[in-house]
């Protein structure tokens, strides 16, 4: 049996695949030395090398603009470190905690807020550190939900995932296990019955949150991978990042949300781009994001409406930043409909 094609991790390999022209390689050496690069065959097949603005390429192929670090950008833009009581755990909110099992991803997004911490050479979470992380979770009964993240937790073997899920299941106060992953779109062949079985927690709720940013990512293979999870009783949500030149127009964003719902995936978050170093070329303005959310409202099914959120720099958590539709004056309220019309609504008498 032939081995599965491996991700393209070197600039030379991207050049040989026709994804990067030779005259750009020298300029990109510094980018690749600073930030990890990997493009899976599934994602490489979606890139149109003839399109200089290809939305898949913008997400995964290195760009010299990544060397332009702005003063407001930081290595830890959402403040993971400030809320990490032990290695591998981020406990920012009272009732939930992140468990970062690995720093490896199948693909490395050029806008990643953990881009300084992830990569194939990053230190893995050792057995001792995993034991300490699970010990912390067990010692804090307020933790109702544990979110497996990284890196991408689904790069791990089903055996290791099954062990972690079993150990979390044994903690009485942990009722929900949530898995954040790009694997179903980036490397759908990894979603096997064995892996799905590993994620199922007896007596607990398991959710998988898919990271997808463009409707082209939801290929037939990706849809089959998601169906394997959902048909096994694992509900799926989605999170997307608002990205300039990728999904920052109403047609593309609407198509993405509809495609997710067609796959039985509920849109959950639309993230405003984080202030990660070297990512300003991919960020939009908040006003642009609010305009896009207005464009979705009323013209796209309510099932297709994610929450537009900003992760406040410094570790202060997420806040919704979508447009407002309600104002108040002396006569009561004015409510704006999706066409921009204003309507009076009386105050409670």
User: Catalytic residue among 54, 58, 76, 92, which?
Assistant: 92
Strands of 205-211's sheet in order across: 89-93, 96-100, 145-149, 176-181, 205-211, 236-241, 265-271, 307-311, 318-320
134: nearest Cα among 104, 163, 93: 163
* Number of Cβ within a 10 Å radius of residue 145: 17
Is 92 catalytic? The answer is: yes
State yes or no: is 311 an active-site residue. Answer: yes
Write down the catalytic residue from 76, 274, 277, 283.
274
Query: Residue 109 catalytic?
Result: yes
The active-site residue, picked from 114, 115, 223, 266, is 114
Exactly one of 24, 80, 93, 258 is catalytic; name it.
93
Q: Which of 129, 175, 288, 318 is catalytic?
A: 318
Catalytic residue among 63, 108, 112, 190: 112
For residues 81 and 72, give the distance between their C-alpha atoms in angstroms, rounded to a whole number: 18
> Going by DSSP bridges, is the β-strand pair 342-345/332-336 parallel, antiparallel, or unpaired?
antiparallel
Tell me which of 35, 105, 108, 223 is the catalytic residue: 105
Residue 112 catalytic? yes
Q: Which residues contact 293 (CB under 8 A, 6 or more apart)?
A: 270, 305, 308, 322, 323
- Assess whether 114 carries a catalytic annotation: yes
Catalytic residue among 9, 80, 87, 96: 96
Is the Cβ–Cβ distance between 322 and 242 less than 8 Å? no
Pairing of strands 236-241, 342-345: unpaired
Q: Active-site residue among 63, 76, 152, 311? A: 311
How would you class 23 by CB atoms within 10 Å of its CB: exposed for 0-12, middle for 13-18, buried for 19 or more?
A: exposed
Q: Which of 108, 109, 136, 162 is catalytic?
A: 109
274 carries an active-site annotation: yes
- Active-site amino acid positions: 92-93, 96, 105, 109, 112, 114, 274, 311, 318
């Amino acid at each position: 049996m032939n081995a599965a094609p491996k991700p393209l991790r070197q600039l030379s390999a991207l050049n040989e695949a026709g994804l990067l022209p030779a005259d750009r390689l020298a300029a990109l050496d510094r980018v690749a030395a600073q930030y990890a690069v990997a493009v899976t065959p599934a994602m490489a097949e979606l890139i149109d090398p003839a399109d200089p603005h290809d939305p898949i390429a913008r997400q995964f192929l290195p760009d010299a603009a990544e060397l332009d670090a702005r003063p407001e950008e930081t290595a830890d833009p959402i403040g993971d470190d400030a809320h990490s009581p032990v290695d591998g755990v981020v406990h920012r909110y009272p009732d939930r905690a992140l468990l970062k099992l690995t720093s490896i991803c199948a693909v490395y997004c050029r806008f990643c807020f953990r881009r300084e911490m992830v990569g194939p050479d990053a230190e893995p979470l050792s057995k001792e550190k995993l034991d300490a992380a699970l010990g912390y979770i067990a010692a804090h009964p307020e933790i109702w939900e544990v979110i497996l993240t990284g890196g991408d937790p689904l790069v791990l073997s089903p055996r290791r995932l099954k062990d972690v899920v079993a150990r979390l299941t044994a903690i009485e106060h942990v009722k929900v296990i949530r898995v954040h992953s790009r694997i179903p779109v980036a490397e759908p062949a990894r979603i096997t019955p064995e892996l799905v079985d590993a994620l199922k927690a007896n007596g607990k709720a398991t959710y998988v949150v898919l990271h997808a940013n463009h409707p082209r990512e939801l290929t037939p293979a990706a849809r089959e991978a998601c169906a394997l999870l959902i048909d096994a009783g694992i509900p799926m949500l989605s999170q997307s990042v608002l990205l300039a030149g990728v999904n920052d127009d109403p047609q593309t964003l609407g198509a993405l949300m509809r495609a997710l719902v067609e796959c039985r995936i509920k849109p959950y978050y639309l993230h405003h781009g984080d202030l990660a170093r070297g990512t300003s070329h991919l960020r939009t303005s908040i006003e642009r994001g609010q305009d896009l959310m207005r464009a979705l409202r009323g013209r796209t099914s309510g099932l297709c409406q994610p929450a537009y959120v900003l992760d406040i720099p410094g570790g202060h958590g997420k806040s919704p930043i979508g447009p407002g539709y309600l104002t108040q004056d002396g006569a009561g309220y004015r409510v704006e409909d999706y066409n921009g019309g204003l309507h009076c609504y009386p105050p409670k008498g």
